[in-house]
Amino acid sequence: MKCFSSFRVMPANVVAALENWNLPFINYILGFVFTLVIAFFLNNISRQEFIFNLPAEQVLINFTHYMLSNITWAVLFILILNYITRVPVKCVMKVVMPGYILSWIKPFVDLTTTGGNPVNTGYLVPGSGTIDIFHFFLTGNPVASIGAKCLVISFLFCVIAYFRVKKLNWVFCAIYTVLIYAMIVLWSAVPLFINALMKLTGYSFVFSTEMMIHFYLVALFLFGMMTAYLANPEMFLLFARDVRALRMTHYELMLFLGAALALGESAYDVLPQLYFSEDIVINIVLCMISLLFSGLFAIVVNNLSDIEIDRISNADRPLIRNVIDVKSYLSFGFCFMALALFYSAMVNSKALLVMSLFMGSYYVYSSPPLRLKRIIVFSKLAISLNSLALVMLGYLLVRKSVDGFPESLYWIFLIGFTLSANFIDLKDVKGDSAAGIITLPVLFGDKKAKIMIGTAFWLTYLALFYIVDNIYLIVPLVLGGGLQFYLINRKPYNEFLVLLFHNLSLVALIVYLMMIKIYFPQ
């Protein structure tokens, strides 16, 4: 009886111990990651094709797929448990991440039950038949090994125990456990849903490990954002409010501009290029995610370097309001940098180089000892260089090389946009002057600087004629540049309107480059 009583309270003791450990959260993360690494190795011992017999590139692909699939499911499961139990996300994470030691059950059972003969476990893919949710793991389904079935059964028992610890009655325990089991089955059938989605959008479905990696990367971003918000809404909103959406939109549009140039200059029609090369679409999406994290890193670096300036010109910045300490803020910056590099590396080495350039340019622009923002005009070369690099990346995602890339864009960005980008200093004149940073507005005064910057904008708009190459668009370019000149010089000055019109102009240019190819093919 005493033994039974101890067994009955064991789940509560285990959960309490995991939730209340006075350990740095990084311990839980590293324990989770290395548990998955061990599970990956053990699983490959029990597979028909041992991992070390494969080419190195295939090993990396398989490892990436395994890690992303498990991490994505873990984040989704954390969200589900948080919704069901209303337990704080951080506490759920402290239980779920160590709980992944259960993943070792599958390879051990498979090796034991097969007498050392390896087995395979895979997805349900189109053509594999209908999904029988209640018998999927409990019968002879070809994609579920004995070890997988034992793992799922053990997992469901742990789920029931966790629900009971959190005071759910037996009826709800049963209902939610069945629903979670259904989620496991549906997760194994993800290719079926991807196939249905691709058919709706006109793409042909070909199952591959790379396709699943792309799916997990996008899903992990979405689930990760939801988890981050639920874990700490105040911190999430702190960065969301400081993301400087219009400036970030400018850089995202640079990617689309490069892709539009490549699609428009190709000998093939635009739509067939997109339909027969779905990698173009997913790679642009992944680069956009990487760029978002790169931008957040740049913002963190800039805010850390401009504390004294922001006390005068931008009192609403988080470090000025003391809503986060410098050490924690810097840690978030490094996390953003790691995520940016990871997502770009998942595209290709060229994307990784461009995102490294983006973050590096902003770092030497903002941070000492170089702190190039102190050098008049030249300081904005970082902005124009990053913009040019992103246009080239968008071009590369379509054409795979820069052969045929418009050479006129080099001087349009490196000269015209470098001068135009000085508009970002117009609202920081007092802060820059107090910090001894010589900008155009500080050196020449507000009025003369606005005329110079507005003129540079106007000439840059006119220079776009070399890109559109259409005599009928000269008037719109003249009018667009003139309106931007007016917005720079109007009183009171409003940076929001300048950036908004600039981004709308980019959208119009991208649409033109796409539409002229679709509706007026040569």
Render pLDDT for 387-418 as a digit per residue (tens, 0 to 9): 999 999 999 998 888 888 888 899 999 888 88
| Same domain membership, residue 226 and residue 262 | no
Q: How many Å apart are CA 181 and CA 39, to the nearest integer?
A: 21
Chosen domain end from 204, 231, 258: 231
Q: How far is CA 48 from CA 53, 115, 119, 199, 300, in A?
A: 11, 13, 5, 32, 48
Average predicted confidence (pLDDT) for the chain: 83
Read off the pTM: 0.88
Chosen domain end from 200, 231, 262: 231
Query: What are the b/e assignments for 28-46, b being 16+ CB within 10 Å?
Result: beeebeebbeebbebbbeb
Would you say residue 138 has pLDDT above 70? no
| Same domain membership, residue 136 and residue 174 | yes
Residue whose structure tokens are 């963190």 = 300
Q: How many CA atoms lie within 13 A of 386 on its CB side?
A: 27
User: Using one digit for the tens of pLDDT, what is the confidence trace for 226-264?
Assistant: 999 999 999 999 999 888 899 999 999 999 999 988 887
Chosen domain end from 210, 231, 252: 231
> From the centroid of its chain, how far is CA 241?
17
Q: How many Å apart are CA 387 and CA 362, to the nearest integer?
A: 12
Would you say residue 205 has pLDDT above 80? no
pLDDT confidence of residue 134: 46
pLDDT band for 133, please (50, 70, 90 cuts): very low
Would you say residue 114 has pLDDT above 80? no
| Same domain membership, residue 240 and residue 224 | no
| CB of 88 closer than 8 Å to CB of 74 | no
| Same domain membership, residue 220 and residue 241 | no
Would you say residue 277 has pLDDT above 50? yes
> From the centroid of its chain, how far is CA 85?
29
| Same domain membership, residue 468 and residue 328 | yes
Give 444: exposed, middle or buried? Use CB within 10 Å, 0-12, 13-18, 19+: middle
| Same domain membership, residue 312 and residue 204 | no
pLDDT confidence of residue 281: 84
| Same domain membership, residue 285 and residue 148 | no
Would you say residue 4 has pLDDT above 60? no
Rounded mean pLDDT, 5-11: 66
Q: How many Å apart are CA 84 and CA 69, to the nearest integer?
A: 22
Would you say residue 332 has pLDDT above 70? yes
| Same domain membership, residue 294 and residue 217 | no
Q: How many CA atoms lie within 13 A of 193 on its CB side?
A: 9
What amino acid occupies position 504?
A: L
| Same domain membership, residue 22 and residue 129 | yes
Rounded mean pLDDT, 354-379: 83
| Same domain membership, residue 277 and residue 222 | no
| CB of 318 closer than 8 Å to CB of 324 | yes
| Same domain membership, residue 217 and residue 260 | no
Task: Identify the CATH number of the domain in which residue 358 sits.
Answer: 1.10.600
Q: How many Å apart are CA 228 and CA 232, to the nearest integer?
A: 6
In total, how many domains does the chain have?
2
Tokens of 504: 């709308």
| Same domain membership, residue 360 and residue 258 | yes
What amino acid occupies position 128?
A: S
Residue scoring higher pLDDT (43 or 298): 298
Segments forming the whole domain that contains residue 192: 2-231
User: Mind giving me the DSSP string for 37-50?
Assistant: HHHHHHHHHTSSS-
Helix, strand, coil content of the chain in percent (nearest 5): 80, 0, 20
